[in-house]
Amino acid sequence: MNDQHVNAASPDLESRTGPEDHTDLRLWLRLLTCCNLLENDLRSRLRTEYQTTLPRFDLMAQLQRVPQGMKMSELSRHMMVTNGNITGITDQLEKEGMVERIKVATDRRSSIIKLTVKGKREFKKMAESHEAWIQNMLFSMPEKSKRTLFESLGELKLITQTKLAARH
């Protein structure tokens, strides 16, 4: 697929660039556009099929990976959002019986957040759908292209992490 076709077919961040723009900018905007397209579809499906949001799904996914639960500060760090965001989402999920707060005996200000049985059951359904949606979105891409892209993005991730670490 040529760049002309991509730009004409979808008015997005990438379509603001042209062949005269440097490759790094065009690559960045293509990555961002792809991410936005995939994420917007996932957000829409979660809202439509499960009446939930991507941040709620993400919080539940973090808790699913750590059955003993996590403190709010850990959730905040893993999800890269503020404690306030985590508190709001946790409050909603707790009202719906999806998570529970367990006070930490050694620190009255802290709580461990865990999925409830209901939360685990509901998350399992959402996660299965989420995985199927992603597979469906990427189904048409040849396996070789997927592997190449995965490896290339791995290189980009390593380079970026190295540069960021050197700055701090």
**What is the C-alpha to C-alpha distance for residues 60 and 125, in angstroms, rounded to an integer?**
12
**What is the C-alpha to C-alpha distance for residues 16 and 38, in angstroms, rounded to an integer?**
19
**pTM score, two decimals?**
0.82
Task: Give the strands of the sheet with 70-71, arranged side by side.
Answer: 70-71, 107-115, 99-104
Picking from 34-38, 80-84, 87-91, 150-154, which range would have the lowest pLDDT averaged per residue?
Answer: 80-84
114 φ, ψ to 5°?
A: -135, 150
Q: What integer pLDDT is reported at residue 9 of this predicted model?
A: 53
Pick the CATH number of 56-141 from 1.10.3720.10, 1.10.10.10, 3.40.50.300, 3.20.20.70: 1.10.10.10
pLDDT digits (tens, 9 = 90+) for 113-165: 999 999 999 999 999 999 999 999 999 999 999 999 999 999 999 999 999 99
Per-domain boundaries in the chain: 1-51, 56-141
Residues 6 or more apart whose Cβ sits within 8 Å of residue 147: none
The mean per-residue pLDDT over the stretch 29-44 comes to 94
In contact, 46 and 52? CB cutoff 8 Å: yes
Q: What integer pLDDT is reported at residue 16 of this predicted model?
A: 75
The three-state (H, E, C) secondary structure of 69-120, written as one string: CEEHHHHHHHHCCCHHHHHHHHHHHHHCCCEEEEEECCEEEEEEEEECHHHH
Residues 6 or more apart whose Cβ sits within 8 Å of residue 59: 75, 79, 86, 89, 90, 93
